Amino acid sequence: MKAILYIFLGGGLGSVLRFLMSNYTQKLWNINSFPMGTFVVNLLGCFLIGLFTSYFMKFDNPLKFLLIAGFCGGFTTFSTFSAENVSLWQSGNYGILALYILLSIIFGIFAVYLGLNLSKN
């Protein structure tokens, strides 16, 4: 139950920080229509999940739930997607890696499109 509380708190903090950072970054570096805010948040989230995962592989601590699943999960799910892809790469599952990336992108775009069109009716 303690892990769930940590994930809840970290997720809330990560979500708020993502919103603030993304908006600030987009205003600071408004380059045409490139989503710079989301891009920067995703890269930072990927760096942080790598850093936290590396640390907690050495030292098991319940704060891993707050920082990895909670904070990084709330900050950006792209970091989790990227970490899973690195794990597939490291374990030599190249076919699954390619399939996961391809299906995630294609079906993710399709799901957004479908949701947008269903909400019009």
Detail the residues annotated as belonging to a binding site for Na(+): 73, 76
Detail the residues annotated as belonging to a binding site: 73, 76
Residue 76 zone, left/alpha/beta (φ > 0; ψ -120 to 50; rest): beta
Count of C-beta atoms within a 10 Å radius of residue 19? 13
CA distance 73 to 103: 20
Distances (CA, A) of 30 to 26, 35, 78: 5, 8, 21
Count of C-beta atoms within a 10 Å radius of residue 89? 12
CA distance 47 to 84: 13
